[in-house]
Structure 1
Amino acid sequence: MTTDRPSVKPAGTTAALIDCGSLDAALDVFAALSVARERGEFHADELVPAAQTVLVLGGDGRNPRGIAAKLPALLAASHAAARAQAAGPEVNIPVHYSGPDLTEVAALTGMSEEAVVARHTAASYAVAFTGFAPGFAYLSGGDPALAVPRRATPRARIEPGSVGLAGEFSGVYPRESPGGWQIIGSTSARMWDTEREQPAALLAGGLVRFTAVREKTEIHATRATAPQRNTDPDRPGAVLRVVDAGLQTLVQDAGRLGAAGMGVGRAGTAIRGAYRTANALVGNAPGAAALELGHGGFAADALATVVLALTGAVRQGRITGPFGSRNVAHGTPFRLSDGERLTLGPAGRGLRSILALRGGVGGDAFLGSRSRDTLAGLGPAPLTVGDEIRPAGAAASAVGAPAPQDPDLPSEGDVATLRVVLGPRDDWFDADAVARLTTQQWTVAPQSDRVGVRLTGEPLRRDAAHADAELPSEGVVLGSLQVPPDGQPVLFLADHPLTGGYPVIAVVHDDDIELAAQLAPGTTVRFTLFTDQPHTRTETRQ
């Protein structure tokens, strides 16, 4: 993948991947673009550096050819300032070197365990990039003699604070997770702490040094709690109490921007259009938090009179109580009076719905958002029976006019069509695999979730040159079709990881992401290459 100069590849319709060819070149590009962005010479929602690439999300990322044209001048103009900006204070991390893989690392490197520790503590590291999990930093600049491969079989559970090696990088696991790094020690330093103003201890460009200590101190992860309960007497009182939370009802808003430097993705609602419509129907300002309903039904009792709106996948609903019984209108604001119960069934077509509350769903924001990120474990916990929901404040305007429902949502047995843009790694696959992506039909597997839609079909195989190659971690975008070694694609949704290590053969068009998020298990999917021509989104099998 080494190149003489950076090349720019489209990553869907809203992002571009700059392939720099090496870690040093990627760091130079990232630093230069960061400086140009501060000067107003370059625009992006996020910049995501990785092992050999920089991902540009939004802004100039929508025009890869434009980036390629201006990149040489930006690099030349920003080089000196970028180098100066990259330096930062050194963070010292105390490590108890007693990891389960220390002996194996010593054998792999031909050193004693004491020599491994000595070399690991002698080096000065730089935070090259973040990813994999919030607060997980890839540290470069270590002793080349300590470059070791990942474990052949990843562990299902690695403790928070574990210090590991993988290839040319060192890193510290910020929380319990699976992983394949070689663990040589542990630290009591918290790499990720939601109680801090800046939760991540390490940011790109920072400097790190490890120090050996004798005592091992355990650290414990904290669980995110639901912020719906009303514990502040100065805040509005609760208006709903959950009676049936379904299989996954989440608080969601437009998501988190500006947190990529800490390894945190945007997340937010999976069905953006339905979310915007629901907020408009109840008179909320854009960005107000709402409830996103997934599998199963939902029911809640009104503790005070409230105005609600239901959008997205259509659900049969009833309101019952002291004033009688009536149906719930879809795409229209409706009133739920004190003492009444709202009961919603599962989605008839599609999968996800938005239930908006006039005034927005209240609760504490984290990194500027109330949304739940299911992969990172950030934001309010999924709703459970007994949770109380209160408004965030006053509505912004009057309720809106009824909105028509979407007639094209798929159900089991239907065929949904999604437009895709090839790349950025379609060149890792042979011509037959690229053709197979768009000529066969794919079935949505039951294991699908907000992280991604898992698809089954005839596998997509890599070409001979990349059959056994390992892709260095690089940024991935919403809608990416990432292909793991088994050849079965995963279509990334709202809670996808910030970076990934498998090639992305294509990216779903941004305008079709909402349809992708409505694909229930058993639905059939067909991909078609993006053109400017109108297309049929859903076909019903006869």
Structure 2
Amino acid sequence: MDARLLPMGRTAVLVEVEGTSHAVALRLAVGGRVAARHHPWAAVTEVVAAARTVLLRVAAPQHRDAVAEAVAELARTLDRAALETPGSVHAVELPVRYDGPDLEDVARHTGLTPATVIRAHTATPWRVGFGGFAPGFAYLVGGDRRLHVPRRAEPRPRVPTGAVGLAGEFSGVYPQESPGGWQLVGTTEVVLWDVERDPPALLAPGTTVRFVDADRAEWAPPPGRAAATEEVAALKPSGAQSRRATTRPPARALHVVDPGPLALVEDLGRSGLGDVGVGRSGAADRAAYLLGLRLVGHAVDDPDADDPRAPASVEATLGGLVVRAQGDLLVALTGAPCPATVDGTPVGHAAPFTLADGRMLALGTPVAGLRTYLAVRGGIDVEPVLGSRSADTLSGVGPAPLKAGDVLAVGPPPDAFPSVELAPHAATDDDVVLSMTPGPRADWCDLEGLTHGIRTVAQRSNRVGIRLEGKPVQRSEAYAASELPSEGLVPGAVQVPPGGEPVVFLADHPVTGGYPVVAVLTAQAVARAAQLRPGDRVRLRWVQV
């Protein structure tokens, strides 16, 4: 298999192959080696397949080159027979009522009758190629070639849960209500995504999928195999299993009096779920979050590496957070500096202090920056979701935004004592400079135009990403009319949509995107970008790594 390695920052590599079948085969081969945990595959934290690429993310920068060499060698030696592999032994049957609003349009596109469209959709087994834009969404490949149809000219603002659609060579099922432009041919009642199920996604890469016409009276699950709806019921844990075993009130906690504009619980995020449409998420300003942990005595072995054991903190956007202590707590404020008081007495920034039992901490509006972190010795001990306590604003996975009346339990303190009393922080410049390295599609655009002049952070910015307004970046002549299939993304990816205004993705970025990523911010620049407010002035510059 021919493969091309493309740069994607210091902790990821993008592997480009010939087509979807090649990407699926390489993804399955990589997955087997990652599961075996042998060197260097043990360092891989995420594998995200797409239409023509496979993205591999590693735990820390020092592992990237070894993983890149290993995946290149794997691609070179992968037997072409792997491309014909029908999928995993596990198969799922999805009963569908073919009542979709676009069934007649699909028939006209294909020159078939509606009944023939249904027979074509159900007669051929499909295979999960890769995950998509929403948790549990799977791009299904390998179906009847006669069903290749274009997306709708105008996407629907609302596609209902369970809608079954066609687009290009793919079929898929919408796991939750969302906008979408696929041609809808039917509906299914099968639950594709459930965070209380293990695994939460019913359709994993490599799984064989058979659609079944639910209106056929003679249909029944094959002997020895449950229908998908029965599999879901069997796999879903009971309510008692899915919640904490005890409801005993915590000895130490933070009581939320006022969450301010937006307050979230965040840690380092969740890895390994990109293939089913769930990004890592985690603290937007990773550096500020980690500094807060150090100040209250939590050791951080490698600030560049993912650590699922890292305790959670509170991320407050534009201040306004008011909390009351239950028990004596050691806390620290980092990130965007803001006026802060304990029962009216000012307290410092980037230095630990005691929040005594019953005392109230109140944050004002930051004087600079956007996000302030409240770290607590012991960490915020909310219930983990898929291995993390982080709130993901894009997928909706994780704890809900904080509201008045919430009680946040605080975990047991670590054995080590704090060794840092005060951490200096740099003053904010008028113009923020964001350093970046070339991305996988750097040749698609005029790179000099990317770094020319001042750009301004647009109002349409959040934890998903920031849009930089300014002189549009021009496409290279060779790619002026080209379209790019969706590819895996990382935090700091700089994507240039057709309008030419760059978008910088942050913690809650989508798993894949269909516009060229021409650059990737350094980790330090991602942290700085997370503190930018609408209207802030930004310069982009290239650096060598």
- Residues 253 and 427 of structure 1, relative CA distance in 2, 3 Å threshold: same
Output the CA distance in 1 between the equivalents of 2:81 and 2:144: 27
1:526-537 to 2 correspondences below 5 Å: 526-531=539-544
- Residues 386 and 510 of structure 1, relative CA distance in 2, 3 Å threshold: same
Aligned to 1:257: 271
Moved more, 18-27 or 202-211: 18-27
Equivalent residue letter for 1:289: A
Output the CA distance in 1 between the equivalents of 2:14 and 2:60: 11
Does the CA contact (< 8 Å) of 1:313 and 1:348 recur in 2? yes
The match for 1:354 among 364, 368, 373 is 373
Matched, 1:189 2:190: yes
Secondary structure of 1:347's aligned partner: coil
Aligned to 2:312: 289
Aligned to 2:257: 243
Output the CA distance in 2 between the equivalents of 1:347 and 1:230: 36
Aligned to 1:466: 479
- The CA deviation at 1:60 is 9.3
Does the CA contact (< 8 Å) of 2:11 and 2:64 recur in 1? no
CA shift digits 1:160-189 (9 cap, x unpaired)? 111111110111111111111111111100
Secondary structure of 2:339's aligned partner: strand
- Residues 62 and 470 of structure 1, relative CA distance in 2, 3 Å threshold: farther
Output the CA distance in 2 between the equivalents of 1:466 and 1:386: 54
Output the CA distance in 2 between the equivalents of 1:205 and 1:136: 14
Does the CA contact (< 8 Å) of 1:128 and 1:137 recur in 2? yes
Matched, 1:488 2:529: no
CA shift digits 1:458-482 (9 cap, x unpaired)? 1123234433332111101110111
Aligned to 2:45: 45
The alignment's TM-score, normalised by the length of structure 2, stands at 0.87
Matched, 1:306 2:329: yes
- Residues 67 and 238 of structure 1, relative CA distance in 2, 3 Å threshold: closer
CA shift digits 1:276-312 (9 cap, x unpaired)? 1211222246500110111242112233332211111
Q: Name the count of aligned residue pairs.
A: 508
> What percent identity do the matched residue pairs reach?
44
Aligned to 2:294: 280
- Residues 67 and 379 of structure 1, relative CA distance in 2, 3 Å threshold: closer
Does the CA contact (< 8 Å) of 2:13 and 2:68 recur in 1? no
Aligned to 1:336: 355
Aligned to 2:457: 444
Aligned to 1:33: 30
- Residues 304 and 66 of structure 1, relative CA distance in 2, 3 Å threshold: closer
Output the CA distance in 2 between the equivalents of 1:511 and 1:15: 16
Equivalent residue letter for 2:27: F
Output the CA distance in 1 between the equivalents of 2:16 and 2:150: 23
Does the CA contact (< 8 Å) of 1:313 and 1:409 recur in 2? no
Does the CA contact (< 8 Å) of 1:425 and 1:505 recur in 2? yes
Secondary structure of 1:315's aligned partner: coil
Does the CA contact (< 8 Å) of 1:275 and 1:311 recur in 2? yes
Aligned to 1:536: none
Secondary structure of 1:269's aligned partner: coil
Equivalent residue letter for 1:428: W
- The CA deviation at 1:41 is 4.5
The match for 1:318 among 323, 327, 341 is 341
Does the CA contact (< 8 Å) of 1:333 and 1:400 recur in 2? no
Equivalent residue letter for 2:145: P
1:62-461 to 2 correspondences below 5 Å: 69-71=69-71, 73-75=73-75, 79=79, 86-214=87-215, 232-234=246-248, 236-237=250-251, 239-284=253-298, 287-320=310-343, 325-409=344-428, 414-429=430-445, 433-461=446-474
- Residues 339 and 33 of structure 1, relative CA distance in 2, 3 Å threshold: closer
CA shift digits 1:339-394 (9 cap, x unpaired)? 32211111111111110122111111111100001100000000011111211333
- The CA deviation at 1:330 is 0.9
- The CA deviation at 1:401 is 2.1
Output the CA distance in 2 between the equivalents of 1:425 and 1:512: 20
- Residues 79 and 346 of structure 1, relative CA distance in 2, 3 Å threshold: farther
Aligned to 2:11: 14
The alignment's TM-score, normalised by the length of structure 1, stands at 0.88
Structure 1 stretches lacking a partner, 5+ long: 220-228, 533-542
Does the CA contact (< 8 Å) of 1:48 and 1:475 recur in 2? yes
Equivalent residue letter for 1:188: E
Equivalent residue letter for 2:406: D
- Residues 39 and 401 of structure 1, relative CA distance in 2, 3 Å threshold: closer
- The CA deviation at 1:123 is 1.2
Does the CA contact (< 8 Å) of 1:409 and 1:515 recur in 2? no
Does the CA contact (< 8 Å) of 1:191 and 1:200 recur in 2? yes
- Residues 85 and 162 of structure 1, relative CA distance in 2, 3 Å threshold: closer
Output the CA distance in 1 between the equivalents of 2:201 and 2:473: 37
Output the CA distance in 2 between the equivalents of 1:337 and 1:302: 6
Equivalent residue letter for 2:120: R
Does the CA contact (< 8 Å) of 1:230 and 1:388 recur in 2? no
CA shift digits 1:3-48 (9 cap, x unpaired)? x821111012221111102112212222232333326244322111
Output the CA distance in 1 between the equivalents of 2:358 and 2:249: 21
Aligned to 2:56: 56
Does the CA contact (< 8 Å) of 2:351 and 2:422 recur in 1? yes
- Residues 332 and 342 of structure 1, relative CA distance in 2, 3 Å threshold: same
Aligned to 1:537: none
Equivalent residue letter for 2:513: G
Output the CA distance in 1 between the equivalents of 2:268 and 2:94: 35
Equivalent residue letter for 1:531: Q
- Residues 177 and 6 of structure 1, relative CA distance in 2, 3 Å threshold: same
Output the CA distance in 1 between the equivalents of 2:208 and 2:518: 35
Aligned to 1:223: none
Moved more, 273-282 or 28-37: 28-37
CA shift digits 1:108-161 (9 cap, x unpaired)? 111111111111111101110112111111100011111111111111111111
Does the CA contact (< 8 Å) of 1:14 and 1:510 recur in 2? no
CA shift digits 1:169-226 (9 cap, x unpaired)? 11111111111111111110011012212110010111101111139x9x9xxxxxxx
Equivalent residue letter for 2:93: N
- Residues 199 and 65 of structure 1, relative CA distance in 2, 3 Å threshold: closer
- The CA deviation at 1:61 is 7.9
Q: CA RMSD in A?
A: 2.6
Does the CA contact (< 8 Å) of 1:230 and 1:238 recur in 2? no
- Residues 524 and 71 of structure 1, relative CA distance in 2, 3 Å threshold: same
- Residues 360 and 21 of structure 1, relative CA distance in 2, 3 Å threshold: same
- Residues 33 and 115 of structure 1, relative CA distance in 2, 3 Å threshold: same
Output the CA distance in 1 between the equivalents of 2:244 and 2:64: 47
CA shift digits 1:256-278 (9 cap, x unpaired)? 01222322211111111211121
